[in-house]
Structure 1
Amino acid sequence: MSFSGFIVQLVNGLAAASSLFLVAAGLSLIFGVTRIINFAHGSFYMVGIYVAYTLVGLLGANLGFWPALLLAALTVSLLGALIEMVLLRRIYKAPELFQLLATFALVLIIRDAVLYLWGPEELLGPRAPGLSGAITILGRKFPTYDLFLMAVGPVVLGLVWLLLKKTRFGVLVRAATQDREMVSALGVNQAWLFTAVFALGALLAGLGGALQLPREAANLEIDLHTIGSAFVVVVVGGMGSLPGAYVAALLIAELKALCIWLGIVDVFGFTISFSKLTLVVDFLVMAVVLIWRPWGLMGRPQPVNRYANNAEDPLRPASTTYLAGVAAFVLLLAVVPVIMADSPYTTVLMIDLLIAALFAASLHFIMGPAGLHSFGHAAYFGLGAYGAALIVRTMGIPMEMALIMAPVVAAAGAFVFGWFAVRLSGVYFAMLTLAFAQIVWAVTYQWDDFTGGSNGLTGVWPAPWLSDKSSYYWMTLIIVVAGIVGLRRVLFAPFGYALRAARDSVMRADAIGIDAKHMQWMGFILAGWVAGIAGALFAFSKGSISPEALAVNKSVDGMVMVLLGGIQTLIGPVVGAFSFTWLHDTVARSTDYWRAMLGFIILLLVLLFPQGIAGAFRQLFDHLRSRKKASLLDGMSNASNQYVMPAKGVER
């Protein structure tokens, strides 16, 4: 460590902050006006760098370099406008979480489109003409292009600020951020305003990607990595605050640069690798900021109408016909290994389907009845899986006991993280759960001596009497059915009613003596415990466990399952888990571009069934029931009208 190295790293952090700010600024604009959590915003960044690579090759690396970057940003802007007009405009009135599901489907489609057009190899662009050299700072070389990037962030911030503060378009954008309905009532074409804002946000993301062409290789993984960092910047800076986003980008980039400069340090006999913290430092910052200042560094507390939540239709106890159908379905599942004895893979797939159903049911428990939209539920699935593996491997405890102890590990994690998380709400709650999940993932990914690091743990096999896949399947079926039925029973117990009361109206719940936050905390712990059961079953079914079980992709998969099935129904997560897992397996084995096909299927389901698959069937049954009831009432009315009072003196 040297002072000159420290200064160079700080300057390098300033350069990294500019590109991060461009993506975050676009994301903040889109969310502020359209209220869509655009999961595909990182894909715009990725497309920007790929398009810039192609245009530089076509126009030439000298005279065509700078025009190519601008044209790439404009191309991404047009792509964003097209997506908004063709898809998002159709789902503005859908629930926010289904909008998130639609943008996640776009991530899958865009990634495979990029794979088809540019291939799987990393692509590194040429150096920027005129800025390919380096200058000397305190005896160390520093790229001239990075100095240029340092200036880009403040310049773009100033231009966007002028656009929003000094133009009529900016006035409309700020007005729409505060009250979209009033803007529409004043005669403003809201549709085109949304399109323009979405195109501007995509332009900034595309520009951020294009500017990284000389510094970063274009690859297929940067979309999700970028959107995660952009979400962190927006939340830490404060939703809707562009200066806050820039300050947050600077803070996070400089902290990462500082960790790189520190490297490996001995503190009181302990060796600490600060360079490894770069994987998680942004999420650590977000967790600290949200706990200390829930609305971000430069954001403002949003006025919340504590009566504003629309109460959903009350949950109805299952009818006899419904219970008979469920019982028949469970019996059918029980005989699957017998029916499909010639296809061992079917049994393995069914185990995965059952585990996914339990994981989705645990997430639905807090998303639906509790109204808490978690982006980091995979943490408790992974804690259960790693807990089971470590208990068996390091403690020599039998697998049966590990299945009991491992979910307690997950519940302990939910106990600690939930205490902080339930004090927030909305997107801030979601992002804090994501931060905690990423912290857990980073620890397991880098703790080689204990968790196996990136390689994970192997040799985690079930007991001998469960070594046959059919036996393990039947045990899994019993545990999964018991877990789902248990969650359902909880929802119809006093605790479940209190949990839903806290979701529908915090103030009214408080008025009748319900501690809403305590109820949500207990619900969070219970959901984490059930997710830990699913994780333990998963570890023994595969014989190994890796950090991917805790990654953000796993959390997103769980949300997709819940939303695909329908968040308003108790059977929804099971339907969604079976549908998504089966589609994922079937599509992935049929084509190399399975992500795009899966994305198109999800989009189709979102457009056709905005309430989810199970929700759509429930609406259909309710409609048929109401029609039947109406026809019965009409028949009774007609029968009464046919009765005529007899004339006086006439016998009846």
Structure 2
Amino acid sequence: MNFSGLLVQLLNGLADASSVFLVAAGLSLIFGVTRIVNFAHGSFYMLGVYMAYTLVSHFGHSVGSFWLMIVLSAAAVAVIGALIEVLILRRIYHAPELFQLLATFALVLIIQDATLFIWGPEDVFGPRAPGLSGSIEILGRSFPQYNLVLMVIGPVVLGLLWLLLNRTRWGTLIRAATQDREMVGALGVNQAWLFTGVFALGCFLAGLGGALQEPRIPANLALDMESIGTAFVIVVVGGMGSIPGAFLAALLISELKALCIAIGTLHLFGMDFAVSKLTLVVEFLVMAVILVIRPWGLMGKPQAASRNSNMAEMPLRPASAGLKTAGLVLLAILALVPLASDSFPYLTILLVEIMIAVLFATSLHFIMGPGGMHSFGHAAYFGLGAYGAAMLITLLNMPMELALLLGPLAAVMGALVFGWFSVRLSGVYLAMLTLAFAQIVWSVIYQWDDVTGGSNGLVGLWPADWLSSPTAYYYLTLVFCVAGVLLLRRILFSPFGYALRAARDSALRADAIGIDVKRVQWMAFAVAGLFGGVAGALFAFSKGSISPEAIGVGRSIDGLVMVLLGGIQTLIGPIAGASLFTWLHDSIARETEYWKAVLGLVVLVLVLLFPAGIVGTLHHAYLSLLSKSRKLAKPVAKELKEAL
């Protein structure tokens, strides 16, 4: 590494910081006012790149028209964002925050397939910026002229946002809404249009960040997921709702990435360390450290409890006789399914996937529902269990049966380490820390070629001979799934389960009566990690291989969707949600190329119709109907008694 190379990389880092700051600033504004964790924000960034490609290619041939098209691209994204806020998000502002997250996830699927339909699946390359297509020489090295402009745009936008928020009435309302939205509404401010305006501004910034990248990167369908992770990290590191904090965090993370690239390989203690590989995970390492040391970020403030954080939880009750009977009937039907395998050969394969999803979802529900701890990184334990079992076979030649039993212990160890830090946080900070740990696990697995197979994964993980037939493996999965669900349910009705729910409902009261709240929550992480690891091991042997793609952010989001679709306040919810989501995913994917959009629409409709989840909403409706019937029955019984 020489000085000139280091300087050029650090300058590139400044250019990258401007772009990611724009996206993160928009996300921070939206969260600060609406309190929505907008998972679709990366989709608006992606739309900005595609919009700029189209407009610049057709109308941006001169310097003035190029920059005009860049601004118009961002404005078009802002209009799309405003329409989405008015037509969809405005209807769910009073829903629990996690269901708002589910709705924005559905938007990700819809926008991605809409982009696929309009622009196609191939990467598209836009033209260079007129007058800025060349480079300048810095200490003998070439540096793109366009990057110099990007380095200036970030601070300029930061200054304009500061003026907007501190020197205008609208900016004062935004800052007031960030502190206390209810009070702003009580003073007569139209909250609906304020929310729409802020959402449109946030989408404009995301679209602008994407449009500015058009001359640098190809437009592709993976940009939404790539950008949203970095944006979340910057917002959390800088401080939720802090625009200067987002700028500082963008600088810190972009420069650290640039430094890793500049260093390349570091020789220490007679060994070579590929520092450049840290670019995949450095932002999540920074976020994990910041969250442990200063949970509210570099320039943020401790967040007050959100409006949905103290919602009353319905008490869990033992299964009724009718529910037990229904469960036995369902188990009998599942046991008889292989008898129909000749007529429906694909059915057993699909049911294996559903049962693995059920076990994964119920393990996540264990800490989210009864535990009250939101996790965005549960795929870490799924992956550790899968790779733990796989490596016992590939490295130690262990029998499949033993690997299946011992592999999930890797997930338990990971849960003990990650949980020890995570239980010291709460709310969105806890969720983001779990995401950071999950991405660290993914990065290690992705880059440890000699042990995990790297991006290629591990293959040849077939079941033992006596389990090689689809029917035999189906019964094995059924046994593990049923046993896992029943064990998790039994734990919830044990003294440990009551202590866990007490800690969720009131940590202060639980602590006052002698419950070690942090220890109980820590152990809950280990329990959830164990069963998540079992699901991962079963998945690896069902596919015969395991790769990093199976344990990325998408797996964690799928788990969240399953739990929320069914209902977080019921024990049947994750079972129903996992079954429905897996079936819909499989059925729709086989019927249409645009299955993501169809699945997103279905999820969105379910969120709007069942704001507490399918099982949760139906349960509430049943209780309401039962209450009304009892009220109606009282006067009838009184009249009957008087008549007799």
Normalised-by-shorter TM-score class? over 0.9
Worse-superposed segment, 506-515 or 251-260: 506-515
1:335 corresponds in structure 2 to 336
What are the residue-to-residue correspondences of 1:25-174 with 2, within 5 Å?
25-62=25-62, 63-174=64-175
Check conservation: 1:48, 1:208, Cα contact below 8 A. Answer: yes
Check conservation: 2:40, 2:107, Cα contact below 8 A. Answer: yes
State the SS of the aligned residue for 1:116.
helix
Q: Distance in 2 between matches of 1:222 and 1:306?
A: 32
Superposed displacement of residue 307, structure 1: 13
What are the residue-to-residue correspondences of 1:396-411 with 2, within 5 Å?
396-411=397-412
2:16 corresponds in structure 1 to 16
State the SS of the aligned residue for 1:135.
strand
2:6 corresponds in structure 1 to 6
Check conservation: 2:48, 2:73, Cα contact below 8 A. Answer: yes
Check conservation: 1:112, 1:596, Cα contact below 8 A. Answer: yes
Q: Deviations over 1:378-399 (max 9, x none)?
A: 0000100001111122112211
Q: Distance in 2 between matches of 1:303 and 1:597?
A: 37
1:472 corresponds in structure 2 to 473
Q: Distance in 2 between matches of 1:625 and 1:473?
A: 39
Q: Deviations over 1:83-107 (max 9, x none)?
A: 0000000000111000000000000
Q: Distance in 2 between matches of 1:73 and 1:88?
A: 20
State the SS of the aligned residue for 1:272.
strand
Relative distance call for 1:305 and 1:170 in structure 2 (3 A) is closer
Q: Distance in 2 between matches of 1:304 and 1:191?
A: 22
Check conservation: 2:57, 2:127, Cα contact below 8 A. Answer: no
Counterpart amino acid of residue 457 in structure 1: L
Check conservation: 2:28, 2:240, Cα contact below 8 A. Answer: yes
Say if 2:596 is the partner of 1:622.
no
1:242 corresponds in structure 2 to 243
Check conservation: 2:234, 2:250, Cα contact below 8 A. Answer: yes
1:458 corresponds in structure 2 to 459
1:256 corresponds in structure 2 to 257
Check conservation: 2:457, 2:548, Cα contact below 8 A. Answer: yes
Superposed displacement of residue 403, structure 1: 1.6
What are the residue-to-residue correspondences of 1:415-434 with 2, within 5 Å?
415-434=416-435
1:184 corresponds in structure 2 to 185
Check conservation: 2:18, 2:151, Cα contact below 8 A. Answer: yes
Q: Distance in 1 between matches of 2:60 and 2:243?
A: 35
2:393 corresponds in structure 1 to 392
Worse-superposed segment, 448-457 or 62-71: 62-71
Superposed displacement of residue 450, structure 1: 0.3
Worse-superposed segment, 617-626 or 372-381: 617-626
Superposed displacement of residue 444, structure 1: 0.5
Superposed displacement of residue 292, structure 1: 1.3
Superposed displacement of residue 621, structure 1: 2.2
Check conservation: 2:97, 2:308, Cα contact below 8 A. Answer: no
1:377 corresponds in structure 2 to 378
Counterpart amino acid of residue 30 in structure 2: I
State the SS of the aligned residue for 1:313.
coil
Check conservation: 2:296, 2:302, Cα contact below 8 A. Answer: yes
Check conservation: 2:123, 2:218, Cα contact below 8 A. Answer: yes
Counterpart amino acid of residue 6 in structure 2: F
- Give TM-score, length-normalised by structure 1: 0.97
1:546 corresponds in structure 2 to 547
Superposed displacement of residue 627, structure 1: 3.1
Q: Distance in 2 between matches of 1:493 and 1:306?
A: 31
Check conservation: 2:26, 2:206, Cα contact below 8 A. Answer: yes
1:647 corresponds in structure 2 to none
Q: Deviations over 1:203-242 (max 9, x none)?
A: 0000000000111111000101100000000000011111
Q: Distance in 2 between matches of 1:227 and 1:592?
A: 24
State the SS of the aligned residue for 1:271.
strand
- Give TM-score, length-normalised by structure 2: 0.98
1:650 corresponds in structure 2 to none
Check conservation: 1:566, 1:611, Cα contact below 8 A. Answer: yes
Check conservation: 2:36, 2:101, Cα contact below 8 A. Answer: yes
Superposed displacement of residue 641, structure 1: 4.2
Q: Distance in 1 between matches of 2:40 and 2:394?
A: 40
Counterpart amino acid of residue 187 in structure 2: L
Check conservation: 2:239, 2:299, Cα contact below 8 A. Answer: yes
State the SS of the aligned residue for 2:286.
helix
Worse-superposed segment, 447-456 or 130-139: 130-139
Q: Distance in 2 between matches of 1:594 and 1:122?
A: 20
Q: Which runs of 4+ in 1 moved over 6 A?
A: 305-308
Worse-superposed segment, 226-235 or 394-403: 394-403
Counterpart amino acid of residue 358 in structure 2: A
Check conservation: 2:562, 2:578, Cα contact below 8 A. Answer: yes
Worse-superposed segment, 293-302 or 170-179: 293-302
Superposed displacement of residue 624, structure 1: 3.0
Q: Distance in 1 between matches of 2:325 and 2:82?
A: 49
Check conservation: 1:440, 1:550, Cα contact below 8 A. Answer: no
Counterpart amino acid of residue 425 in structure 1: S
Counterpart amino acid of residue 44 in structure 1: F
Q: Distance in 1 between matches of 2:60 and 2:189?
A: 43
Superposed displacement of residue 640, structure 1: 3.8
Say if 2:233 is the partner of 1:232.
yes
2:448 corresponds in structure 1 to 447
Aligned length: 643
Counterpart amino acid of residue 245 in structure 2: G
State the SS of the aligned residue for 1:344.
coil
Structure 2 residues without counterparts, runs of 5 or longer: none
Check conservation: 2:96, 2:308, Cα contact below 8 A. Answer: no
State the SS of the aligned residue for 1:142.
strand
Q: Distance in 2 between matches of 1:536 and 1:629?
A: 49
Counterpart amino acid of residue 4 in structure 1: S
2:585 corresponds in structure 1 to 584
Structure 1 residues without counterparts, runs of 5 or longer: 644-652
Counterpart amino acid of residue 182 in structure 1: M
Relative distance call for 1:546 and 1:491 in structure 2 (3 A) is same
Say if 2:505 is the partner of 1:504.
yes
Q: Distance in 1 between matches of 2:450 and 2:308?
A: 51
Check conservation: 2:238, 2:245, Cα contact below 8 A. Answer: yes
Q: Deviations over 1:487-531 (max 9, x none)?
A: 111111111111111111111111111111111111011000000
State the SS of the aligned residue for 1:128.
coil
Check conservation: 1:421, 1:429, Cα contact below 8 A. Answer: yes
Counterpart amino acid of residue 32 in structure 2: G
Check conservation: 1:307, 1:506, Cα contact below 8 A. Answer: no
Q: Distance in 2 between matches of 1:570 and 1:122?
A: 44
Q: Deviations over 1:173-215 (max 9, x none)?
A: 1111111111111111000000000000000000000000111
Q: Distance in 1 between matches of 2:323 and 2:635?
A: 27
Q: Deviations over 1:556-608 (max 9, x none)?
A: 00000000111111000010101000000000000100000000000010011
Check conservation: 1:237, 1:243, Cα contact below 8 A. Answer: yes
Q: Distance in 2 between matches of 1:105 and 1:304?
A: 26
State the SS of the aligned residue for 1:297.
coil
Superposed displacement of residue 306, structure 1: 13
Superposed displacement of residue 303, structure 1: 4.3
Worse-superposed segment, 304-313 or 437-446: 304-313
Worse-superposed segment, 342-351 or 27-36: 342-351
Q: Distance in 1 between matches of 2:309 and 2:342?
A: 54
Q: Deviations over 1:518-548 (max 9, x none)?
A: 1111101100000001111111111111112
Worse-superposed segment, 260-269 or 216-225: 260-269
Q: Distance in 2 between matches of 1:177 and 1:260?
A: 38
Superposed displacement of residue 305, structure 1: 9.6
Q: Distance in 1 between matches of 2:236 and 2:21?
A: 12
1:202 corresponds in structure 2 to 203
Q: Distance in 1 between matches of 2:545 and 2:314?
A: 42
What are the residue-to-residue correspondences of 1:336-351 with 2, within 5 Å?
336-351=337-352
Counterpart amino acid of residue 178 in structure 1: Q
Superposed displacement of residue 620, structure 1: 2.6
Greater gyration radius: 1
Check conservation: 1:457, 1:546, Cα contact below 8 A. Answer: yes
Worse-superposed segment, 432-441 or 127-136: 127-136
1:412 corresponds in structure 2 to 413
Q: Distance in 2 between matches of 1:620 and 1:243?
A: 46
Superposed displacement of residue 308, structure 1: 6.8
Check conservation: 1:19, 1:208, Cα contact below 8 A. Answer: yes
Q: Distance in 2 between matches of 1:308 and 1:247?
A: 29
